């Protein structure tokens, strides 16, 4: 089985080099930088608010595992784009609650629709059984590619392989 690893890696590399994937990834990256100080936080926050609108900053911070200052910056930015609204609590006017605006709801639905269509397009050549198997295998891979293992490998090869030092520095900045 291990003899297939080079073929698998080659396929994965080819996929990530495809122009359509790069265009979508770049588009999402630019979009996230535009609306959020925390690049992955904005869609997660909007998703959270579709499930439970009217959360406090503290509740958002806890549920998304983000620092309160990051949540505050994200809320400020999303408010500027009129995607969310901040209103006082009905019973405790000192407490502020965050709501998805009508514009934010439309934006989130469009974003979901785009991703659904994009994923459907990518998986169109697979049968339902193959999609199930891919999902199962992806879960296993994701579970084994956790941060501690990634960091340990980067540390192990830091300074030994050209480019790993830069990759490790970028990793520490992202994590930091």
Is the model's pLDDT at 87 over the cut of 90? yes
Residue 84: φ, ψ to 5°: -135, 165
Q: Do residues 35 and 81 make contact, with C-beta atoms less than 8 angstroms apart?
A: yes
The DSSP code for 37 is: S
Is the model's pLDDT at 83 over the cut of 80? yes
CA distance 142 to 133: 14
> Each residue of 16-69: pLDDT tens digit?
666 555 556 655 555 555 544 444 578 889 989 999 999 999 999 999 888 889
> Each residue of 119-165: pLDDT tens digit?
788 788 889 898 888 888 888 877 777 777 777 887 888 778 877 77
Higher per-residue confidence, 50 vs 6? 50
Higher per-residue confidence, 2 vs 62? 62
Q: Which helix (H) or strand (E) holds 87?
A: strand 84-88
> What pLDDT was estimated at residue 164?
77
Helix (H, G, I), strand (E, B) or coil at 133: helix
- Low-confidence winner among 75-79, 88-92, 109-113, 146-150 (lowest mean pLDDT): 146-150
> What pLDDT was estimated at residue 72?
92
> Does CATH number 2.60.40.10 belong to domain 2-126?
no
Residue 91: pLDDT band (50, 70, 90) is: very high
Is the model's pLDDT at 105 over the cut of 50? yes
> What pLDDT was estimated at residue 2?
59
According to DSSP, the β-strands at 96-100 and 84-88 are antiparallel
> What pLDDT was estimated at residue 82?
95
> What pLDDT was estimated at residue 26?
58
CA distance 37 to 9: 33
> What pLDDT was estimated at residue 30?
56
């Amino acid at each position: 089985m291990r003899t297939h690893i080079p073929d698998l890696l080659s396929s994965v590399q080819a996929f990530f080099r495809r122009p359509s994937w790069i265009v979508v990834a770049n588009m999402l990256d630019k979009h996230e930088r535009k609306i959020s100080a925390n690049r992955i936080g904005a869609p997660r926050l909007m998703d959270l608010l579709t499930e439970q609108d009217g959360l406090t900053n503290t509740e958002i911070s806890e549920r998304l595992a983000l620092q309160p200052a990051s949540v505050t910056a994200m809320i400020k930015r999303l408010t500027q784009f009129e995607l969310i609204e901040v209103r006082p609590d009905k019973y405790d006017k000192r407490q502020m609650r965050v709501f998805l605006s009508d514009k934010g709801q439309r934006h989130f639905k469009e974003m979901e629709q785009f991703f659904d269509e994009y994923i459907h397009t990518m998986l169109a050549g697979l049968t339902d059984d193959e999609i199930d198997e891919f999902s199962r295998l992806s879960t296993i891979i994701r579970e084994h590619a956790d941060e501690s293992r990634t960091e340990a490998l980067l540390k192990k090869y830091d300074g030994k392989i050209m480019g790993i030092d830069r990759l490790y520095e970028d990793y520490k900045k992202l994590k930091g």
